[in-house]
Amino acid sequence: PIASAVPLQATPTFNSSIQLTAVTTATEAEHTIAFLGDREGHLHKLTRGFSGNTATCWATFATADELPSFRCVVFKTNSQQHLYVLSNSRLSKVPVSSCEGQTDCQSCLAVRDPYCGWCVLEGRCSRKHLCRRHSQPNHWLWSFEPTSGCVAVQSLQPARQSRDQQTQVTLSVGRLPALAEAESLSCVFGLLPPGPAIVMGTSITCQSPVPELLQPMQAGSDHMALPVSLVFGHVTIATSSMTFYDCAAFRCLACVGSAWGCNWCPLDQLCTHNLSCPSQHIILSQRVRQDSPGPTSCPLVFGLQSSALVPLGVSTSLVLRGRNLDVYTKDEAQYECVVEMEGVQHRLAAAVEKSHDNTDTFTCSPHTGFALSQLQYSVPVYLRRGERRIDASPGLRIQLYDCSAGQSDCSQCRAVPAEYGCVWCPGSPSPSCVYNQSCSSTPEDSCPPPQITQVQPVSGPLEGGVLVTITGSNLGMRYQDVVGGITVAGIWCPPFRPKGTRSPPGLSAALSVVCELQPSGKQREGPVQVRVGAAPPGRSLQVFTYQDPQLLGLVPDKGPVSGGTRLTIRGRQLLTG
């Protein structure tokens, strides 16, 4: 401790509520740094801040795991890299900094350690004297300076570019360190080989990659962002990113409506960044020319005039509506409707009816050759004229459906939404679910009685509470169909409805139903019955038994606290539920 018989008056630069027991100082990068030890075994690292006379404590850490009563004495080594910290039972060697632990510029400057700074051309966090060009501006960036910041790309022009065109890229870089006459920087795009960079003050120019070197776009994507790195040797000085887009990934609507300023060549079926087309006619993006009509001038199939629901097995014609198709008047090829299903294009001849408002109506010839393994299948539909595909509005699809797919009994058939027109037809060779116009006889107004093929489990406790699964056919379409019609051994069994739900998962239309077993006052047995509406009930061949399991013995009756003992339980009617 410092003591004097003559009082000294001064404004303190640091206040501590704990008694300080040792002090030493060091000079680093022309700044004084103080190391203070206290009686609780903590070492404080301070330096004078940039505002007034206040000292900034940028690190405090414990030097030993001891009681708070020991005293701490600090000595400085001649190398200026470590301190020797002496307590009443331990001597510790403590590094004055840990600059090398920071691997990038941002983390190096974030430590706010007056010993540390970022050595730009060497790409490492170090003390000032260890950076070879520390005396030159912007070569060593001090982490303790409030205004200090990393070398960064402030702007990059152009920020986006067609992948089909090489261009000159200009980067504006702040705090760029000066290079020797024989030294140079490079630009690196992604993982491609480096290219030369021309430095003029804070402006740097380089060439974007040739199109052949750019990797293909990911499926369904129209652009990719590549990192652009400014490199000195093997050291990355600053990084930005540049977007490369692919106009060829678009059709007309997406082409002229994209953010990239692409233009559409309708006669060439080509989306391009150029301002001209091989066949002259071009639709310009509004980003290229504001008075261009843009997407509204695209040749387009914009809607369905017929229903989007198309039943299979029935002669049905699709009717499409299109506009702006006069551009193809010199084309001798005929229009075709195309329905794409599971990768196969089904082409249907199309009859054209023109109108005076620049729209056309296309009636597609009927087609009955589709086959489905499920009730419905959503497929896209569009027009072709020869090899030219006419763009279609997003979401223009039809719903192909087959009433017989997956509808194996009457209840399943009647559960299909009414707009599909599915009916249960009793015709030969066997009853089936068909489209109403395909039924050669009168459709059934009601379904046959339920049939029960399996009950699981076939026993339960007198107290009930067991979930019983009933499997079969014609077991109802909705919860309301069976809510009061299920009995198990003569006891009502309500369909299972978990708490907080409106529609019970215990009912799968026509095929199965789950009910919750209710209490029985005595042991009993009997079949399971399901009644749907006014039809006679279906009865199971299996017999369900209410029984009362009884425990008679347990061997052994004791075991170690750690567990692991096998128990044998003896009783009657233990196989219940």
- Domain range 451-546, CATH class: mainly beta
Q: What is the mean pLDDT of residues 531-535?
A: 85
Order of all β-strands in the sheet with 124-126: 124-126, 117-119, 140-142
Note the pLDDT tens digit of each residue in 166-223: 999 999 998 899 999 899 999 999 999 999 999 998 899 999 999 999 988 887 788 9
Q: Give me the pLDDT at residue 502, please.
A: 53
Instruction: Give Cα 211 to chain centroid, integer Å.
Output: 30
Residue 442: Cβ within 10 Å count? 10
Give, in order, the Cα–Cα distances in Å from 170 to each of 25, 173, 229, 359, 529: 48, 10, 12, 48, 81
- 56 — pLDDT class (breaks 50, 70, 90): low
Q: Are 361 and 375 in contact (CB under 8 A)?
A: no
Nearest-angstrom CA–CA distance, 98 and 5: 41
DSSP state of 283: B
Bigger pLDDT: 45 vs 199? 199
Q: Which pLDDT band holds residue 68 (cuts at 50, 70, 90)?
A: very low
* Residue 539, pLDDT above cutoff 80: yes
CATH fold match for the domains 100-142 and 153-176+184-208+222-245:
no
- Partnered with residue 125 across adjacent β-strands are 118
Residue extents of the structural domains in the chain: 20-96, 100-142, 153-176+184-208+222-245, 300-401, 451-546
Q: Is the pLDDT of residue 63 over 60?
A: no
User: For the domain with range 100-142, which CATH number is right: 3.40.50.300, 3.30.1680.10, 3.50.50.60, 3.30.1540.20?
Assistant: 3.30.1680.10
Q: Is it true that the peptide bond before 505 is cis, omega within 30 degrees of 0?
A: no
CATH 2.60.40.10 fits 153-176+184-208+222-245, yes or no: yes
Buried b (16+ CB within 10 A) or exposed e, 308-341: eebbbeeebebbbbbbbbebbeeeeeebbbbbee
E strand or H helix at 108, and its extent?
Answer: helix 105-110
Domain 300-401 has CATH 2.60.40.10: yes
Say which residue the tokens 């729209």 belong to.
Answer: 359
For tokens 């997406």, the residue is 254
Element (H, E) at 37: strand 31-38
Give dist(CA 387, CA 229) in Å, integer: 44
Q: Kindly report, residue by residue over 342-380, the tens digit of the pLDDT.
A: 878 889 999 999 887 889 999 999 876 677 777 888 999
Q: What is the CA radius of gyration of the chain?
A: 42
Q: How far apart are CA 394 and CA 511, in angstroms?
A: 38
Higher pLDDT pick, 162 / 408:
162
CB 410 within 8 A of CB 448: yes
pLDDT at 508: 53
Q: Is the pLDDT of residue 28 over 60?
A: yes
The distance in angstroms from the start CA to the end CA of the chain is 83
Residue type at 268 in one-letter notation: D
At 448-460, the pLDDT tens digits run: 889 999 999 999 9
- The average pLDDT across 40-55 equals 67
User: Residue 506 above 50 pLDDT?
Assistant: no
